[in-house]
Amino acid sequence: MTDWACATLLFAQEIAPREIPWLAWFLWLLIGFFGIFPGVVAYMVWAERKVAARFQDRIGPNRVGPLGLLQPIADALKLITKEDIVPDAADPIVHLLAPVIILVSSFLVLAVIPFGVGLAPVNLPSGLLYLIAVSSFSALGVFLAGWSSRNKYALLGGMRAVAQLVSYEVPQVLSTIPVILFTGSLSLVSMVDRQYEFGWFVFSPPGFLAFVVMTIASIAEVNRTPFDLPEAESEIIAGYHTEYSGMRFGLFFLAEYLSVFAVSCLGTVLFLGGGLLPFPLNRLAEWMGTGDWPAIVVNIGMVSVFSIKVLGYVFLMFWVRVTLPRMRVDRMMNFAWKYLVPLSIGNIVIAAVWFEMVLRDPIKRMAQVEITGDEYIPPGIGVGLKGWIVTGALVIALFLTVLRVNRGSHASKIKEITESPIPLPSEAPALFARAR
């Protein structure tokens, strides 16, 4: 064994939490990262094709294996045996680099997601910040792909993609701030812990609004319908990956579905309580004394609950994809900057109000309980109800205000256009008559 390998194992031992032996930790990282995730993602593609087929009254893949279950393997084999064509005009190095960058970025996003107790591949104290930073790398890869192909459609797709990714990153990042506020930490593990104490964050008016904004922005971040303009096949062939074939195209494909999986995991951890059970069931589990059960049993339960939530989230994305048509470019950009950004900025203030009304007192008392050792008494239902009414009203008011401002600006634009000296088609005959 070389020194370098020894150092790797030592690092693994240092980092591994006490409960799991380091070898298991290391194996989980390797198998989990480069075995389970690509496998899950490959079957997500199969699931999407099946689901979309059902929605469109078709059968979907059913030739390769029972129910078409071997389809992902057949696809991978096909991609790997296809010729990899690089256009003569392209920049060969950047052309090769682009899919690698995108794939690395989508893999690294998964590195901080806590799938269960002590099952976050790396438990970073500033996990969310890291996640946001790494996920925005994919915009770079997309643009490199579009630019290096030296193809007009690819370049159009690349430019559109950067504009879109950059615009939707703002509401996506802003809508995570309420969660950080409620948790008081950037670590995704402590976010799940806080939701264990105070319920899922989606069950509060600011949390719900943030969840909705986050979901929409995430769909745009992974370039899926109705925001799939960067690869709009009816206008610009395949957008930024027009000139990619064979396995390089396969890497783009894998990266796209990996990031769909990653944003679903992120939404689940931030707002849907990670691997926690919903309200009546979690009390039941507590009553059954799951705290004393062996870690592996608890983890199996948590990972199953987590998977169910992620599947639901992914299914929502499939559903949106088969239901909604593609948006127009200007409307898509407007939607980010004129609806989602004001909504999420206002939501930060509402989240602070919710924190002051509902969360501050229990958090303070919980900290005291840890010092004095008294029994912790949860706050009465009245506090939560008051918070719900006030912040709910604020959220509705914010939503209506944003809607009204947009309608007003839209109406004034229409007025401007209709009252401008350019003749309308209906006036054309009269104008012709005058000219004659």
Residues 238-277 that bind another protein (CB under 8 A): 242-243, 246-248, 250-251
CA distance 91 to 72: 31
Contact flags string 285-324 toward another protein, x per CB under 8 A: ----------------------------------------
If residue 137 lies in a helix (H) or strand (E), which one and from where to where? helix 137-148
Among 70, 345, 369, 383, binds another protein (CB under 8 A): 345
- Could you tell me if 139 and 165 are in contact, meaning their C-beta atoms sit under 8 angstroms apart? yes
**CA dihedral in degrees (250, 306, 292, 12; nearest 10)?**
30
Instruction: Kindly state the smallest distance separating residue 386's Cβ from another protein, in Å.
Output: 17
The token pair at 123 is: 């438990």
What is the DSSP track for 209-265? Answer: HHHHHHHHHHHHHTT-TTS-GGG-HHHHTTGGGTT--HHHHHHHHHHHHHHHHHHHH
CA distances from 247 to 78, 88, 147 (A): 9, 18, 19
Question: What contacts 350, CB < 8 A, 6 or more positions away?
Answer: 205, 206, 209, 391, 394, 395, 398
Q: Which of residues 51-90 bind another protein (CB under 8 A)?
A: 80-89
Task: Note whether 390 binds another protein by CB under 8 A.
Answer: no
Among 71, 72, 107, 214, binds another protein (CB under 8 A): 107
Q: Which is nearer to another protein, 317 or 394 (CB)?
A: 394
Task: Note whether 233 binds another protein by CB under 8 A.
Answer: no
Q: Which is nearer to another protein, 269 or 317 (CB)?
A: 269
Q: Which is nearer to another protein, 303 or 402 (CB)?
A: 402
CA distance 361 to 377: 11
Q: Which of residues 321-340 bind another protein (CB under 8 A)?
A: 329-330, 333-334, 337-338
- Supply the DSSP symbol for 335: I
Rg (CA), the chain: 25
Among 356, 361, 374, 427, binds another protein (CB under 8 A): 356
Q: Which is nearer to another protein, 304 or 409 (CB)?
A: 409
Instruction: Kindly state the smallest distance separating residue 413's Cβ from another protein, in Å.
Output: 9
Q: Give the count of alpha carbons within 13 A of 436, CB side only.
A: 6
Task: Note whether 122 binds another protein by CB under 8 A.
Answer: yes
What is the DSSP track for 174-210? Answer: HTTHHHHHHHTSS-HHHHHHHHHHH--TTSSHHHHHH
Q: Which is nearer to another protein, 14 or 57 (CB)?
A: 14
- Coil/strand/helix, residue 149: coil
- Could you tell me if 178 and 355 are in contact, meaning their C-beta atoms sit under 8 angstroms apart? no
Q: Which is nearer to another protein, 122 or 430 (CB)?
A: 122
Among 123, 199, 326, 365, binds another protein (CB under 8 A): 123
Report the b/e string of 254-285 with b at 16+ CB within 10 A: bbbbbbbbbbbbbbbbbbbbbbbbeeeebeeb
Task: Note whether 45 binds another protein by CB under 8 A.
Answer: no
Q: Which of residues 7-36 bind another protein (CB under 8 A)?
A: 8, 11-12, 14-15, 29-30, 33-34
Task: Note whether 104 binds another protein by CB under 8 A.
Answer: yes
Q: Which is nearer to another protein, 104 or 320 (CB)?
A: 104
Q: Which is nearer to another protein, 225 or 242 (CB)?
A: 242
Instruction: Kindly state the smallest distance separating residue 333's Cβ from another protein, in Å.
Output: 5
Q: Which of residues 135-194 bind another protein (CB under 8 A)?
A: 147, 149-153, 155, 159, 162-163, 166-167, 169-170, 173-174, 177, 180-181, 184-186
Instruction: Kindly state the smallest distance separating residue 268's Cβ from another protein, in Å.
Output: 20
How many residues bind to another protein according to rule CB under 8 A? 82
Instruction: Kindly state the smallest distance separating residue 326's Cβ from another protein, in Å.
Output: 15
The token pair at 402 is: 């944003």
